[in-house]
Structure 1
């Protein structure tokens, strides 16, 4: 079979489903397999982070997450599960059908820039919380004016599901025009979550993808994909990525690295070559990559 990446190329020899763009390579290698080709349906994730799993099984590992309001492609169903793709990085996973809201393609013109935020039922912090948001989540500007309350400014919004809510204006403030390492440091102590992509919990490549993406440097989802796409450098500097077997971190200078890791189960800073853990990291480093 033509070399395809199951993380990004949607095909399943058992169910015979495949996405339409793979029609030529699949028929060239397996003309008699009886493929059923489907065209992706554009949808938008709902108000919550959506867990995408390796297999259509609740006990299968999470491979990534879709944030609130992110664009998705819906491919095919298997029992109570749906094969979907995150549009921003082309990554595939299985989502529980009951958790997958199909909300079309609304205009979501506001992006959350706070690491973590909440949408409230009214313009007051004592109001019920309607949604848990994070950096990168998208909502729409609602009708009406900004409401000032105790020197706080509340913006009316419409969540991806169509629900009306309120979010403090500061949660949409532009990121400071500083180097991205300063932004990365804001994630210190964030819990480690396999497949996580938000400040509520993330993994190593989720951290580097979020941080680099915030400053216009789009990266693929996994560490090996990120390494493959970057130019190699011998001596790292601030903003370079450090790669290991199945792991990645962001260099703060020539030796210090910030990374989400399962050793400490959180985002920490290590100095390569210093201490037991730092020595192990230095010995296992497979190279450094520089963003264009």
Structure 2
């Protein structure tokens, strides 16, 4: 009698981690389709489905954004590995600084996640990597508004890029999300969803550093947002990340000498 050998169980890999500087997330599994988001180094995602062996549809655990990326740009994880890489991490604070691994140098961009970081090195699948740039530990460091504003200013002059989340291209929603995420505050990806967060402020004079301002188009739909530096200035991504004047009507662009955005309301996200 022949006894069938038991097959060794292999955990199904339905999650992934980004091991490149950034990966484009597109609206369709096509290089010509619109980029709607990006994954940065160290960020994890859930794989929803695959297509043509080249594309996979992924979902972010932070904001539940979904889209398509190239399969070979991601490193597959089991569910246990996925949970492991969601735990303790630091965030990179330099605009760009290389991480050094086995015969490789990977540019790490501002806001990237460094899993299991000890301040000198961090752990990725199959290897540890060295990193000499500045890092921030959101779970271990007391929050200071001055630090948030410093990070917000690091993105100054980053060009506007729809779907972007890096200092080399970022949109209005991505900018707000990235600045707050570094400090352990996970906001939605889209501007209109961000506007549902926090406490409404009724007057611009009530605003203070770290509050969010949201703006509407001619149909009254939320279409833009930014971060207050104080109750007279806002930093936002419009053409590039820039600082403009803010009043009860909206954003005034001194270069163009016009109002570029009509104010809807302010929101307070940070605790008092």
Distance 2:43 2:264 in 1: 33
Q: For residue 4 of structure 2, what is the aligned residue in structure 1?
A: none
Distance 1:274 1:83, change over 3 A: closer
1:248 has 2:221 as partner: no
Q: For residue 65 of structure 1, what is the aligned residue in structure 2?
A: 38
Distance 2:35 2:60 in 1: 14
Distance 1:55 1:190 in 2: 26
Q: For residue 149 of structure 1, what is the aligned residue in structure 2?
A: none
Q: For residue 23 of structure 2, what is the aligned residue in structure 1?
A: 50
1:268 has 2:242 as partner: yes
Q: TM-score, normalised by structure 2?
A: 0.74
Q: Is the 8 A contact 2:114 2:123 kept in 1?
A: no
Distance 1:129 1:166 in 2: 10
Which deviates the most, 53-62 or 226-235?
226-235
Q: For residue 120 of structure 2, what is the aligned residue in structure 1?
A: 155
Q: For residue 97 of structure 2, what is the aligned residue in structure 1?
A: 117
Give the length in aligned residue pairs: 233
Cα distance, 1:199 vs structure 2: 2.5
Q: TM-score, normalised by structure 1?
A: 0.69
Cα distance, 1:279 vs structure 2: 3.6
Distance 1:233 1:156, change over 3 A: closer
Q: Is the 8 A contact 2:253 2:260 kept in 1?
A: no
Cα distance, 1:257 vs structure 2: 0.5
1:286 has 2:264 as partner: yes
1:239 has 2:214 as partner: no
Q: Which structure dedicates a bigger proportion of its chain to strand?
A: 2
Distance 1:216 1:128, change over 3 A: closer
Q: For residue 131 of structure 2, what is the aligned residue in structure 1?
A: 167
Contiguous gaps of at least 5 residues in structure 2: 1-11, 217-222, 247-251
Q: Is the 8 A contact 1:189 1:267 kept in 2?
A: yes
Q: For residue 112 of structure 2, what is the aligned residue in structure 1?
A: 136
Is the partner of 1:280 in helix, strand or coil? strand
Indicate which of 51, 69, 76 corresponds to 1:102: 76
Distance 1:89 1:193, change over 3 A: same
Q: For residue 92 of structure 1, what is the aligned residue in structure 2?
A: 66
Is the partner of 2:134 in helix, strand or coil? helix
Distance 1:191 1:176 in 2: 31
Cα distance, 1:278 vs structure 2: 6.4
Distance 2:130 2:230 in 1: 40
Is the partner of 1:229 in helix, strand or coil? coil
CA RMSD of aligned residues (A): 2.9
